[in-house]
Amino acid sequence: MARHLLVTDFILPLKSPKLSYLCEPQKGRSNGSQKVSRTVAYYGLKTPPYKLDALEPYMSKRALEVHWGVHHRDFVEDLNKQLGKSDILYGYTMDELVKATYNNGNPLAEFNNAAEVWNHDFFWESMQPGGGNMPKLGLLQQIEKDFGSFTNFREKFVEAALTLFGSGWVWLVLKRHEKQLAVVKTSNSINPLAWDDIPILNLDMWEHAYYLDYKNDRGKYVNEFMNHLVSWNAAMVRMARAEAFVNFGEPEIPIA
Partner 1 sequence: MALRSLATRKTLTQGLNSVKLTQSRALQTFSLPDLPYDYGALEPAISGEIMELHHQKHHQTYITNYNKALEQLHEAILKGDSSTVVKLQSAIKFNGGGHINHSIFWKNLAPIREGGGEPPKGSLGWAIDTSFGSFESLIQKISAEGAALQGSGWVWLGVDKELKKLVIETTANQDPLVTKGPNLVPLLGIDVWEHAYYLQYKNVRPDYLKNIWKVINWQYASEVYEKECP
Q: Is the CB of 21 or the CB of 165 nearer to partner 1?
A: 165
Q: Are 108 and 18 in contact (CB under 8 A)?
A: yes
Residue 186 beta carbon to partner 1: minimum distance, rounded to whole angstroms: 11
Where residue 179 falls (left for φ over 0; alpha for ψ -120 to 50; beta otherwise) is left
Is 4 among the annotated ligand-binding positions?
Answer: no
Among positions 167, 180, 223, 233, the unique one binding partner 1 when judged by CB under 8 A: 167
Instruction: Name which of 138, 211, 146 is nearest 172 in CA terms.
Output: 146
Instruction: Name which of 48, 51, 69, 67 is nearest 212 in CA terms.
Output: 67
Chain centroid to CA 69 = 17
Q: Tell me the window of 9-17, 28-36, 208-216, 235-243 that interacts with partner 1 (CB under 8 A).
A: 208-216
Q: Is the CB of 93 or the CB of 216 nearer to partner 1?
A: 216
> Which letter does DSSP use for residue 193 in this model?
G
Q: Is 206 in the site for partner 1 (CB under 8 A)?
A: yes
Q: Is 81 in the site for partner 1 (CB under 8 A)?
A: no
Is 67 among the annotated ligand-binding positions?
Answer: yes
- Residue 98 and residue 246: Cα distance in Å, rounded? 20
Residue 207 beta carbon to partner 1: minimum distance, rounded to whole angstroms: 4
> 238: exposed, middle or buried (C-beta count within 10 Å: 0-12, 13-18, 19+)?
buried
- Residue 222 and residue 158: Cα distance in Å, rounded? 7
Say how many Å lie between the first and final Cα of the chain, rounded: 44
How big is the site for partner 1, counted in residues (CB under 8 A)?
19
Q: Are 183 and 160 in contact (CB under 8 A)?
A: yes
Q: Is 141 in the site for partner 1 (CB under 8 A)?
A: no
| Per-residue binder mask for partner 1 (CB under 8 A), 181-200, x = binder | ------xxx-----------
Q: Is 112 in the site for partner 1 (CB under 8 A)?
A: yes
Residue 163 beta carbon to partner 1: minimum distance, rounded to whole angstroms: 9
Q: Is 168 in the site for partner 1 (CB under 8 A)?
A: yes
Q: Are 109 and 82 in contact (CB under 8 A)?
A: yes
By CB under 8 A, what part of segment 214-253 binds partner 1?
Answer: 215-216
Is 204 among the annotated ligand-binding positions?
Answer: yes
Q: Are 43 and 117 in contact (CB under 8 A)?
A: yes
By CB under 8 A, what part of segment 34-73 binds partner 1?
Answer: 66, 70-71
Binding residue numbers for Mn(2+): 67, 120, 204, 208
Binding site for partner 1 (CB under 8 A): 66, 70-71, 74, 112, 165-168, 187-189, 206-208, 211-212, 215-216
